[in-house]
Amino acid sequence: MVKALILCSVSLSLLLLFQLFSICGNAKNTKLVPALYIFGDSTVDAGNNNNLSTTARAISLPYGIDFNHTATGRFTNGLTVPDYFARFLGLPFAPPYMNLSELERRTTTTGLNFASASSGILPETGSFTGSPLTLDNQTDLFKITAKTLDVQNIKVHLAKSIFFISIGSNDYIMNYRNIASKMNKLFSPDYFAKFLTEELVKRLKKLYLIGARKFVVTGLGPVGCIPAIAKSTPHEGDCAESFNQALLSYNKELFMKLSKLQSQLYGSFFVHTDTFKFLHELKENKEKYGITDTQNACWDGKHDPCAVVVLTSHQYALP
Ligand SMILES: *[C@@H]1O[C@H](CO)[C@@H](O)[C@H](O)[C@H]1NC(C)=O
Ligand SMILES: *[C@@H]1O[C@H](CO)[C@@H](O)[C@H](O)[C@H]1NC(C)=O
Ligand SMILES: *[C@@H]1O[C@H](CO)[C@@H](O)[C@H](O)[C@H]1NC(C)=O
Ligand SMILES: *[C@@H]1O[C@H](CO)[C@@H](O)[C@H](O)[C@H]1NC(C)=O
């Protein structure tokens, strides 16, 4: 605790900031940036799917048990990573765009959330749950928003704001496995990783053209360890390692592409988060973090609401 306090009082680089925002509060409660804009899938959706025609919804407990016991549409027991981030930045939680009125969409200048559970980088990825917002939908809606946002200087506003993008797992869960089983030779993990990251880069460039400059792009976590995936994939050990290897291929490729992008796009800044390493560390040292079970979903009811979520301690530990 003492150590954390000392760390929190020094000025932080973005990288350090990212490691520390979950344990540090923003004591002064001043805004560190004007706004936080969020794009992605269920890892960061804050309720958009409640207002869309899709079956991918987190509308009942145990979702939200630590969010004032309310299932808001977040696919987690409590806060999402961008919620913690917003808190650290001195901003309110970015509200889900689909739940706002036209007026609120223009006047909410501290950030908006466009993320939609079950979506992927590829437009077709989420379609089996209905019509979630594809990543293209999300960037299109953001473009419309940027045109009407109630700020004095939109260019400065966007350049100073942070763009948080967390997406790609569903392209593996829902697309890659199907494609790979059909076209194993044509779609090697490396080939798919190159293809998918290239598709993501196209959308990141779109955001840059609208005015985004500061990006946080998450790598993929160990999806092969998600209970529903591990249980439906033949494997030895705790996790579907072949699946995890494919994701590591993606993470490596993403890291290289983001570095390249930063050198290509004038004034841009990219932070790549190593979600895989972070969650792997939690899993391997679960006792240290107070986690009791990393093998089973937290709820074994008829559906499995904990199968595809940000992995937090509660999701592991629930009876
Ligand atoms: C949606 O908007 C209503 C009305 O403002 C609000 O009460 C509710 O909490 C919002 N839901 C989410 C998930 O943000
Ligand atoms: C829970 O409710 C309290 C009181 O209304 C509020 O201050 C707090 O922000 C809420 N917690 C979350 C996670 O929304
Ligand atoms: C979104 O859906 C919720 C219930 O799911 C509803 O209360 C709210 O009015 C809807 N918001 C909009 C903007 O349609
Ligand atoms: C998402 O994109 C599709 C394809 O362009 C379009 O038909 C649909 O209306 C969009 N959805 C929203 C909510 O903008």
Dump pLDDT digits (tens) for 213-256. 999 999 999 988 888 788 877 777 788 888 899 899 999 999 99
Q: Whose CA is nearest to atom 13 of ligand 3?
A: 99
How many Å lie between the centroid of ligand 3 and the Cα of residue 47? 10
State the Cα–Cα distance between residues 77 and 56, nearest whole angstrom: 16
Average pLDDT over residues 13-36: 61
pLDDT above 70 for 8 = no
Position 91: which residue type? L
Query: CB-based burial of residue 116 (10 Å sphere; 0-12 exposed, 13-18 middle, 19+ buried)?
Result: buried
C-beta of 127 in contact with ligand 4 (< 6 A): no
* Whether the Cβ atoms of residue 106 and residue 149 lie closer than 8 Å to each other: yes
**Residue 101 alpha carbon, nearest atom of ligand 3:** 13
This prediction's pTM: 0.87
How many Å lie between the centroid of ligand 2 and the Cα of residue 7? 26
Position 175: which residue type? N
- How are the residues of the chain apportioned to helix, strand and coil, as percentages rounded to the nearest 5? 45, 10, 45
pLDDT tens across 142-195, in order? 999 999 999 999 999 999 999 999 999 999 888 776 665 555 556 788 888 999
State the Cα–Cα distance between residues 243 and 236, nearest whole angstrom: 12
pLDDT above 60 for 74 = yes
CATH number of 7-283: 3.40.50.1110
What are the pocket residues of ligand 2 if the criterion is a CB atom closer than 6 Å to any ligand atom?
67-68
C-beta of 137 in contact with ligand 4 (< 6 A): yes
* Whether the Cβ atoms of residue 178 and residue 122 lie closer than 8 Å to each other: no
Position 117: which residue type? A
What are the pocket residues of ligand 3 if the criterion is a CB atom closer than 6 Å to any ligand atom?
50-51, 99
